Amino acid sequence: MGKFTYISDLKKYIGEEVEIRGWTYNKRSSGKVRFVIVRDGSGFLQCVMAKGQIDDSYFDLFDELTLETSTIVRGKVREDQRAPGGVELDLSYIKIVGPSENFPIPKVREDNIPDPGVLLPIRHLWLRTRRQWAIMRIRHTIEKAIHDFYDSLGFIRIDSPILTPAACEGTTTLFETDYFGEKAYLSQSGQLYQEATCMAHGKTYCFGPTFRAEKSKTRRHLMEFWMVEPEIAYAELPDVMENAEGLITYIVEKVLENRQEELKILERDISKLEKVKKPFPRISYTEAIELLQKKGFNIKWGDDFGGDEETALSEEFDRPVIVHRYPSRIKAFYMKRDPENPELALAMDILAPEGYGEIVGGSQREDDLEKLLERIKEFNLPQEAFEWYLDLRRYGSVPHGGYGLGLERTVAWICGLKHVRETIPFPRMLEKIYP
Partner RNA sequence: UCCCCGGUAGCUCAACAGGUAGAGCACCUGGCUGUUAACCAGGGGGUUGGGGGUUCGAAACCCUCCCGGGGAGCCA
Q: Which stretch binds RNA (CB under 7 A): 5-13, 101-109, 196-204, 368-376?
A: 101-109
Residues 207-226 that bind RNA (CB under 7 A): 212, 214-223, 225
Give 3-state DSSP helix, strand, coil % of the chain, rounded to 5.
Answer: 35, 30, 35
3-state secondary structure 86-144: CEEEEEEEEEEEECCCCCCCCCCCHHHCCCHHHHHHHHHHHCCCHHHHHHHHHHHHHHH
CA distance 66 to 62: 8
28 binds RNA (CB under 7 A): yes
- Shortest Å, Cβ 87 to RNA: 10
- Shortest Å, Cβ 167 to RNA: 11
- Shortest Å, Cβ 19 to RNA: 20
172 binds RNA (CB under 7 A): yes
Q: Among 30, 98, 90, which Cα is nearest to 66's?
A: 98
Interface size with RNA, residues (CB under 7 A): 76
User: In the complex with RNA, which residue's Cβ is closer, 399 or 404?
Assistant: 404
Between the CA of residue 224 and those of 7, 132, 433, what are the distances in Å?
34, 19, 10
368-402 burial by CB neighbour count: b if 16+ within 10 A, else e?
eeeebeebbeeeebeeeebeebeebbeeebebbbb
82 binds RNA (CB under 7 A): yes
Task: Kindly tell me which residue out of 97, 163, 200, 330 binds RNA, with binding defined by CB under 7 A.
Answer: 330
User: In the complex with RNA, which residue's Cβ is closer, 48 or 184?
Assistant: 48
291-306 burial by CB neighbour count: b if 16+ within 10 A, else e?
ebeeeebebeeeeebe
Task: Kindly tell me which residue out of 11, 12, 32, 275 binds RNA, with binding defined by CB under 7 A.
Answer: 32
- Shortest Å, Cβ 331 to RNA: 8
User: In the complex with RNA, which residue's Cβ is closer, 353 or 357?
Assistant: 357
User: In the complex with RNA, which residue's Cβ is closer, 99 or 165?
Assistant: 99
Q: Among 89, 29, 30, 41, which Cα is nearest to 65's?
A: 29
> DSSP label at 303?
P
CA triple 192-310-318, angle to 5 deg: 105
Residues 104-163 that bind RNA (CB under 7 A): 104, 106-118, 120
User: In the complex with RNA, which residue's Cβ is closer, 88 or 245?
Assistant: 88
> Is the preceding peptide bond at 339 cis, omega within 30 degrees of 0?
no
Task: Kindly tell me which residue out of 5, 46, 164, 314 binds RNA, with binding defined by CB under 7 A.
Answer: 46
User: In the complex with RNA, which residue's Cβ is closer, 199 or 359?
Assistant: 359
Residues 6 or more apart from 415 whose CB is under 8 A from it? Answer: 134, 135, 138, 263, 266, 268, 422, 423
Q: Which stretch binds RNA (CB under 7 A): 290-298, 320-328, 366-374, 417-425?
A: 417-425
Residues 378-407 that bind RNA (CB under 7 A): 404-406
190 binds RNA (CB under 7 A): no
8 binds RNA (CB under 7 A): no
Between the CA of residue 406 and those of 224, 329, 413, what are the distances in Å?
11, 23, 11
User: In the complex with RNA, which residue's Cβ is closer, 202 or 316?
Assistant: 316
What mask of x and - would describe binding to RNA in positions 253 to 282, judged by CB under 7 A? ------------------------------
- Shortest Å, Cβ 182 to RNA: 25
Residues 49-78 that bind RNA (CB under 7 A): 50-52, 66-67
Cβ atoms of 31 and 75 within 8 Å: the answer is no
Residues 224-243 that bind RNA (CB under 7 A): 225, 227
